[in-house]
Amino acid sequence: MEIIYLVIVIILFVLAGSDLIVGVSNDAVNFLNSAIGSRVASFKVIMAVAAIGVLVGAVFSGGMMEVARKGIMNPGMFTFEQIMFIFLAVMITDVILLDVYNTVGLPTSTTVSIVFELLGASVAMASIVVLMSDDTGSISEFINSSKALAIIFGIFLSVLVAFTVGAIIQYLTRIAFSFNFKKRMKYIGAIWGGIAFTAMTYFLLIKGAKGASFMTSEMNNWINANSGMIILYSFIGWTIILQLLYSLFRLNILKLIVLVGTFSLAMAFAGNDLVNFIGVPIAGYNSYELFVASEGASAETFFMSGLAGKVPTPELFLILAGLIMVVTLYTSKKAKSVVQTSLDLSRQTEGEERFKSTWVSKLLVRSSINMSSGIQKIIPNGVISFIERQFEPAEQTETDPPTFDLIRASVNLTVASILIAFGTSMKLPLSTTYVTFMVAMGTSLSDKAWDRESAVYRISGVLAVVGGWFLTAVSAFLVAFIFVYVFNYGGLVAVLVSLLIAAYLIYRTHGHHKKSSDVKKEEAQDVASMSDENIAEKSNKTIIQNIKKIAVELDRIINGLEKEDVKELKKSKKEIQKITAKTKYLKDHINVIIDKLKEEALDSAYYFVTTLDYLREMIHSISFIANPVIDHVDNNHKPFTETQIGDLKSLKTILVKMIDIVVKSLESKNFSKQGELLKLQEELINLIKIVNKNQIKRIKDATTGSRRSILFLSIVNEIKNLSLQLVNLFKSQRDFLDYKKNLKV
């Protein structure tokens, strides 16, 4: 039987490797956000600094994985078999849960996920033990519920405190430095640097090195007893050093703050959050050692009281974990997606908003506008004018500016370091993820990155992320709870099936994320590659691809309607959604394209915008055909009659001929067949009149129901709109290509 449990321990470590990959991909936002957003250095340099911090933090990580072994449950109440099922349930749940969050690009807390997974799995096993036991026991004897309550309290505390403090400090810092901060750096740069480096020094001592293997209890006690002295001397020393470096070598103090802050947060993350990824497998390994050491013990009756003691973590495990984390940092595309979510919500510039507005965000924005108007009436005009001057944007010389400047990046890291260090010293359960994210959101608000054009969308995004944090706790608890019951009653077969399901889910989400990333990359490249010279060619190519697709999908929709093939209709809907997303991306980034064109080529932009609008109208029309047809078939309504299908096919045939003429004209850049195109359009419109009259007659004769009649007339109307927009597009693109040709001459 020992061999079975050894296999389970090996599985736990394999899952730990996967958990490290998905966990680091999510938590990377904590320490990469500010450096990447401000472009403090090249991406390679930023990753190197973060990687060194992660590796140092992992190697010096505390050797005690207390939370996994006894922080949530009382291990002495469970047998070896039960404890191994608990650990398996936790690890499988954690890998799946974090991978899902990474795939959708939302940051969450690995601490919350591991705590609530342990809680859910322990409660499940405790309930099984209580139900199967003759003695009347209580589940509370098995569980340390105070830890879970502390984490929930920590969520509220982290969100409110971090956002508020981040907003206040950024507001004061921006007033002190303004957006044109380079001139003021010589006077107050060293003081700000002294504050930042003092915060980070204290942060590394309190949070980063607290659990390190070389830190003794005497050293920790001395640091706690002399905190005030450490802070004072650090501030004086760092301020003098930075002023000298600036005066002698023109050192960029802000860049140094951001790079050191990135290192310190990365080190603290690896040093403290490593338990979230390898704590459970190591606890499983410790359990196996205790079981093997007790000769003749039975897995069903051997209780795990030995886990309540202190068991050090082998250094080799820490080093291997650190290396996996470093490799993940460099290779994970999902890490970039999670970081991008944070950057999108905090960027200073305009752009496509990922989240839609909600009634809550609208209410908050409206309330803040009213409150701001009320406050401005109280404050003297001179003070308001002075403050507004500090928030005037700096003159932008870069075509592709960073998400935010070095001032905000340094505030993000400094405030996050102070809050995390303070919370740790006060034994408050602040989450690193929550603090760093909410500080970034608070500084964005104060820096007027959330203006009236974007505030409702950004606030919706923040609410979505915060809501996801609470969802993490609930889903972690429930999924781990279910897995324990499955393992307990299904045995090793259930374990193997669950592992296969987990592997399949990760494979699917990886494929989904890769496809999504590739599409976004392709869209971004299309916009980035546009210029005066190729805008006509690229727009021509885009139009040809999309109108061909429209012809194919119209044929598929009518055939799907005739055969009542829901599967085929849903495939068509997905394809239409893809082309809708691509053209929407071009439309949303039209300002980027126009900015790249020369002044004398602005007419090109006009033609491009007009053509794109006609194309989008055509895509809207095909969407307005596809969606109600899917609903009709999916809801099992009566099928269309042969006459109705025949009428639709006749209309489709003419429209496809029109599309064929347009495609060939665009490909050859020969528009001599315009007369033939207009004749076909006239033929189509005349046929539509006849088809509509026939349908009205069918309604009067009651040969078709009202639902089918409404849908039929709607499809016919959208086919008419398709033909009208197709001709408009043809003429617009003809004028565009003629204009470009004349411009060259």
Say how many C-beta atoms besides its own lie within 10 A of residue 170's C-beta. 23
**Residue in the block written with tokens 């997303």:** 581
Q: In whole angstroms, how large is the CA radius of gyration of the chain? A: 31
Lowest mean pLDDT among 26-35, 146-155, 506-515: 506-515
Domain limit, last residue, from 519, 545, 573: 519
- Region 638-651: mean pLDDT is 90
* Claim to verify: residue 218 and residue 341 sit in the same structural domain: yes
The residue among 566, 567, 538 whose CA lies nearest residue 740 is 538
Instruction: Please check whether residue 404 lies inside any domain of the structure.
Output: no
Residues near 648 by Cβ (< 8 Å), separated by ≥ 6?
558, 561, 640, 712, 715, 716, 719
Distance CA 485, CA 391 (A): 58
Q: How far apart are CA 341 and CA 347, in angstroms?
A: 10
Instruction: Please state, rounded to an integer, the average pLDDT across all residues of the chain.
Output: 81
In a domain, 405, yes or no: no
* Token pair belonging to 625: 């055909």
Q: How many Å apart are CA 41 and CA 258, to the nearest integer?
A: 10
What mean pLDDT do residues 67-94 have? 80
**String of DSSP letters for 201-246:** HHHIIIIISTT-TT--HHHHHHHHHTHHHHHHHHHHHHHHHHHHHH
Least confident of 123-127, 244-248, 257-261, 431-435: 431-435
Q: Buried b vs exposed e over 337-375: b needs ≥16 C-beta within 10 Å?
A: bbbbbbbbbbbbeeeebebeeeeebeebbeeeeeeeeee
Q: What is the pLDDT of residue 481?
A: 94
Domain-located, residue 511: yes
Q: Does the pLDDT of residue 183 top 90, yes or no?
A: no
- Torsion of Cα atoms, 237 then 240 then 244 then 246, to 10°: 100
Mean of pLDDT values over 51-64: 72
pLDDT in tens, 75-86: 788 888 888 899
My answer on whether 84 and 204 are in the same domain is yes
Both 190 and 76 in one domain: the answer is: yes
User: Do 368 and 484 share a domain, yes or no?
Assistant: yes
Q: Is the model more confident about 503 or about 652? A: 652
Distance CA(316)–CA(314), nearest Å, equals 5
Percentage with pLDDT > 70 across the chain: 84
Lowest mean pLDDT among 24-28, 301-305, 448-452, 678-682: 24-28
Residue 179 has pLDDT above 50, yes or no: yes
Q: Give the model's pLDDT for residue 510.
A: 64
Q: Is 506 in the same domain as 574? A: no
Task: Using alpha carbons, select from 44, 33, 438 the residue that is nearest to residue 265.
Answer: 33
Q: Average pLDDT for residues 475-486, to the nearest whole number?
A: 92
Which residues, in sequence order, are CB contacts of 301 under 8 Å at separation 6+? 79
Same domain? For 647 and 499 the reply is no
Asked if 53 and 151 sit in the same domain, the reply is yes
To which residue do tokens 């349908």 refer? 695
State the average pLDDT over residues 523-541. Answer: 64
pTM surpassing 0.85?
no
pLDDT at 656: 92
Segment 382-397 shows an average pLDDT of 82
pLDDT at 68 over 70: no
Q: Is residue 304 part of a domain?
A: yes
Report if residue 524 sits inside a domain.
no
Residues 497 and 544 in one domain: no
- Which of 88-102, 648-662, 692-706 comes out lowest in average pLDDT? 692-706
Same domain, 514 and 659: no
* 149 and 94 together in one domain: yes
In this model, does residue 425 exceed pLDDT 70? no
Position 21, amino acid: I
In a domain? residue 402: no
User: In degrees, to the nearest 5, what angle opens at C-alpha 40 toward C-alphas 415 and 210?
Assistant: 40
Q: What would you measure as the largest C-alpha separation in the chain, in angstroms?
A: 96
Domain end, chosen from 519, 537, 553, is at: 519
Indicate whether 688 belongs to any domain: yes
> By the 8 A CB rule, do 242 and 193 touch?
yes
Please, what is the Cα angle at 557 between 551 and 560, to 5 degrees?
A: 140
Question: What pLDDT is attached to residue 426?
Answer: 67
Out of 500, 519, 538, pick the residue that ends a domain.
Answer: 519
Range from 178-187, 384-393, 412-421, 528-537 carrying the lowest mean pLDDT = 528-537
Q: How many domains does the chain divide into?
A: 2
Check pLDDT > 50 for residue 414: yes
Residue keyed to tokens 């013990």: 297
Give the pLDDT of residue 635. 87
The DSSP annotation for 25-70 comes to HHHHHHHHHHHHHHT-S-HHHHHHHHHHHHHHHHHT--SB-HIIII
d(CA 512, CA 497): 22
Whether residue 38 contacts residue 114, with contact meaning beta carbons closer than 8 Å, is answered with no
User: What pLDDT, on the 0 to 100 scale, is given for residue 594?
Assistant: 67
Higher pLDDT, 216 or 728: 728
Angstrom CA distances, 488 to 126, 137, 458, 492, stand at 12, 19, 45, 9
- Rounded mean pLDDT, 722-745: 79
- Checking if the pLDDT of 591 tops 90, the result is no
Supply the pLDDT for residue 484. 92
What digits encode the pLDDT tens for the residues 504-521? Answer: 877 776 665 556 555 555
Choice between 469 and 406, residue whose per-residue pLDDT is larger: 406
Q: Residue 29, CB half-sphere, CA atoms under 13 Å: how many? A: 37
Asked if 270 and 55 count as a contact pair (C-beta separation under 8 A), the reply is yes
Would residue 421 count as lying in a domain?
yes
Output the pLDDT for position 397: 65
The residue among 313 and 661 whose pLDDT is bigger is 661
Question: Roughly what angle, to the nearest 10 degrees, separates helices 602-634 and 566-588?
Answer: 160
Q: For the residues 395-421, what does the mean pLDDT come to?
A: 82
Query: Do 722 and 633 share a structural domain?
Result: yes
Question: Do 510 and 546 share a structural domain?
Answer: no
DSSP string, 288-318: HHHHHHSTT--TTT-B-GGGGS--BPPHHHH
pLDDT at position 311? 54
Both tokens of 14, joined, read 């394999």
Of 40-54, 531-545, 608-622, the least confident: 531-545
Q: What is the reported pLDDT for 64?
A: 41
Question: 675 near 735, Cβ under 8 Å?
Answer: no
Which range has the top average pLDDT, 42-56, 366-380, 516-530, 676-690? 676-690
pLDDT tens, residue by residue, 307-320? 765 556 667 777 88
Contact residues for 531 (Cβ-Cβ < 8 A; gap 6+)? 596, 597
The residue range of the domain holding 734 is 529-744
Retrieve residue 587's tokens. Answer: 């439309």
Looking at residue 113, its pLDDT comes to 83
H runs (alpha helix) in 426-454 = 432-446
CATH of the domain at 645: 1.20.58.220
Residue 207 pLDDT exceeds 60: yes
Nearest to 423 by CA among 410, 409, 438: 438
Mean pLDDT of 487-515: 78
| Residue 1 pLDDT greater than 80, yes or no | no
pLDDT value of residue 206: 74
For the cut 50, the answer to whether the pLDDT of residue 63 exceeds it is no
In percent, the amount of the chain with pLDDT more than 90 equals: 20
Q: Which residue has the higher pLDDT, 159 or 599?
A: 159
Nearest by Cα to 90 from 64, 63, 71, 107: 71
